[in-house]
Chains A and B, each alone.
Chain A
Amino acid sequence: MRFRTDEPAWPVLLRTGTAVILLASLVSLWPDYDLLFGADGLADRALFRLQHPGFFTHAALQPDAPWVRIAYVISCLLLARGLCVRAAAAMLLGLQYLIFTGSYEGFSYGFDYIASSCLFYCLLFCGRPAAGRGTDIGRWFLRVHVCIIYFFAGLGKLLGTSWHNGEALWKAVVQPGFESIFKPDLHALGACPALWITGGWVVLLLEITYPFFIWPRYTRRAVLWAIIGLHIAIALLMGLYFFSALMILLNLAAFHAPDIPTDKPSDASIHVQPNPAPASSSETHARAAARLSAPGGSIRSPPSVSL
């Protein structure tokens, strides 16, 4: 991915990645959209309102209104391209609520809520008007938010017993309901309960200790690799493709992408460390050094942090 603005890399990564993932999820949902959210869909809309009343009741503000999907697609494209970023993020937040987390809460799952959280940070900290202003605070809050997500995901698993004895992992991976294009038959591994017990504890410990080991630089890289590996496994074994992609994106935006602006439009990449040699990059380094020595600089990643 290349960054062509003077924004720090992490907001660009966050808004571009969020927009692409949301667009892909809508495209995936498109053929079944009316069956889920249409007036003649699977179940009576009034019943969904009993689950959660929703804020929008006007007929033009229903998920199956013709403008809704068009506005969603346009907003994703604008957000990905970096045009009218705040307006696009605000529109997408409203549409997420309108379609998924508001009136049709029953059809929503973790992905929708995490996506809304990403859009919330896009609204506040992405976009050219915000470039270079307040983004360090934004990144710190994004990091804390990601830590909250993992800590409570781990805490929930710690409070029950099914993740301790391997039953939860066994059920999550093997029972029907979560299909994927790559899902080997793992029933044979049922003969080896120790594997599932170990797997359950690994997931639990990885999540609950995430906030403690992701901040120190010497453990960050290992934790990032481990958590990305976990999400790849979730995508492959449970078919939660978009959810996994979004969580990987959050991790990369919060803890991996450098937070110095990349001034060289053609060569800059989040995976390329700033080149110390060429004279043309000296200005970038002077700016980076100034930023790192500024108050609050300790919360940023060093420019050389990479996976």
Chain B
Amino acid sequence: MVSKPATPRKALLTAALMFHLLLAVIYNLSGAGLLPPVSEGPLVSLYGRITGLACTYGFFSPQVASPCFLEVELAAGGDTLLRHHLPAFTGNDAKLRYHSFTTLFLDLAPRGTRYADTAGMALRRRLSRAFARSITEREAKRVNGRPVSLRVYVYRHPPLTGYHRGVTPTVRNLYTYAYAFPDR
């Protein structure tokens, strides 16, 4: 059997796909900590996100993140305070996206309890606080400018080893921000 020579187009496609998969491997080796972090240029970053490679595939690993909850407390007149958890999504997909988003608040956990301190941690902590403040201010707008305070909690489920010994879930306040519209 005589094999046909590869056409230039086919060879080009094969080379491009090899590069594509190689990039996937590099992203994942980096994500697993087996290579230094990928220093993305704008083109690689764009390509990685458009083609879906920028996501490392270590789903729920090396450990499962604890969920964060945002609790809003707003003054309802007099001494009354109303509390609710943010936000009230209708669909499951939005809840999953929100859950994914709130993991950024885990960066607000005190040093020593965070999973990893990376080089960009200081910036990420500032960004997490900025998100919390932005959410609070938008919530204040929605409730017609009443004072609002937001608390970010992380929920700790009892570990498997402790659950049958009666260890109960705990919540820990990671951040609090109070906002009141300036006097008009």
Known contacts A32-B94, A35-B89, A108-B97; decide if A177 and B59 are in contact (CB<8 Å): no
Known contacts A141-B21, A152-B57, A239-B96; decide if A115 and B52 are in contact (CB<8 Å): yes
Task: Kindly state whether residue B56 has any CB partner on chain A within 8 Å.
Answer: yes
Known contacts A25-B93, A29-B91; decide if A141 and B61 are in contact (CB<8 Å): no
Which of A42, A94, A120 has the largest count of B CB atoms less than 10 A from its CB? A42
Q: Are A175 and B59 closer than 8 Å at their CB atoms?
A: no
Q: Are A239 and B104 closer than 8 Å at their CB atoms?
A: no
Task: Report A-chain residues with C-beta under 8 Å of the C-beta of B32.
Answer: 152, 155-156, 159
Nearest-neighbour CB distance to chain A for B157, whole angstroms, equals 4
Q: What is the chain B residue whose CB lies nearest that of A43?
A: B134
Task: Kindly state whether residue A113 has any CB partner on chain B within 8 Å.
Answer: yes
Task: Kindly state whether residue B64 has any CB partner on chain A within 8 Å.
Answer: yes
Task: Report A-chain residues with C-beta under 8 Å of the C-beta of B80.
Answer: none
Task: Report B-chain residues with C-beta under 8 Å of the C-beta of A155.
Answer: 28, 32, 58
A interface residue count range (under 10 / 10 to 19 / 20 to 34 / 35 or more)? 35 or more
Which of B54, B130, B161 is the one whose CB lies under 8 Å from A101? B54
A144 to B21, CA, bound (A): 8
A46 to B56, CA, bound (A): 25
A141 to B164, CA, bound (A): 47
Q: Are B62 and A162 closer than 8 Å at their CB atoms?
A: yes
Q: Are B13 and A28 closer than 8 Å at their CB atoms?
A: no
Nearest-neighbour CB distance to chain A for B64, whole angstroms, equals 4
Task: Kindly state whether residue B33 has any CB partner on chain A within 8 Å.
Answer: yes
B interface residue count range (under 10 / 10 to 19 / 20 to 34 / 35 or more)? 35 or more
Q: Which of A93-139 contact B (CB under 8 A)?
A: 93-94, 96-97, 101-102, 105-110, 112-120, 124, 134, 137
Task: Kindly state whether residue B51 has any CB partner on chain A within 8 Å.
Answer: yes
A108 to B157, CA, bound (A): 24
Known contacts A144-B21, A170-B160, A175-B67; decide if A242 and B130 are in contact (CB<8 Å): no
Q: Which of A2-54 contact B (CB under 8 A)?
A: 25, 28-33, 35-36, 40, 42-44, 47, 50-52
Nearest-neighbour CB distance to chain B for A25, whole angstroms, equals 6
Q: What is the chain B residue whose CB lies nearest that of A118?
A: B52
Nearest-neighbour CB distance to chain A for B167, whole angstroms, equals 10
Q: Are A240 and B96 closer than 8 Å at their CB atoms?
A: yes
Nearest-neighbour CB distance to chain A for B88, whole angstroms, equals 9
Q: Are B66 and A175 closer than 8 Å at their CB atoms?
A: yes
Which of A55, A113, A137, A193 has the largest count of B CB atoms less than 10 A from its CB? A113
Task: Kindly state whether residue B179 has any CB partner on chain A within 8 Å.
Answer: no
Q: Are B87 and A94 closer than 8 Å at their CB atoms?
A: no
Q: Are B55 and A113 closer than 8 Å at their CB atoms?
A: yes
Task: Report B-chain residues with C-beta under 8 Å of the C-beta of A165.
Answer: 160-161
Q: Are A107 and B98 closer than 8 Å at their CB atoms?
A: yes
Task: Report A-chain residues with C-beta under 8 Å of the C-beta of B50.
Answer: 93-94, 96-97, 101-102, 116, 120
Q: Which of B1-36 contact A (CB under 8 A)?
A: 1, 3-4, 10, 13-14, 17, 20-21, 24-25, 28, 31-33
Q: Are A160 and B17 closer than 8 Å at their CB atoms?
A: no
Task: Write the residues of chain B forming the contact surface with A, with a CB cutoff of 8 angstroms.
Answer: 1, 3-4, 10, 13-14, 17, 20-21, 24-25, 28, 31-33, 45-46, 49-64, 66-67, 86-87, 89-101, 104, 127, 130-131, 134-135, 138, 155, 157, 159-161, 163-164
Given contacts A166-B160, A180-B92, 17 further A-B contacts (CB under 8 A): A30-B91, A32-B93, A35-B94, A36-B98, A47-B134, A97-B46, A101-B52, A116-B52, A118-B52, A148-B24, A152-B31, A167-B63, A170-B159, A179-B92, A179-B95, A193-B164, A239-B95
Enumerate the 8 nearest inter-chain pairs by beta-carbon distance, A residue then B residue, closest first.
A160-B62, A156-B58, A116-B52, A113-B55, A156-B61, A32-B94, A177-B67, A117-B52
A/B interface sample: 25 pairs, CB < 8 A = A28-B92, A31-B94, A42-B138, A43-B135, A50-B127, A55-B46, A101-B52, A110-B57, A116-B49, A117-B53, A118-B52, A119-B52, A120-B52, A124-B13, A124-B17, A134-B13, A137-B10, A137-B13, A145-B24, A156-B32, A156-B61, A171-B66, A240-B96, A241-B92, A295-B4
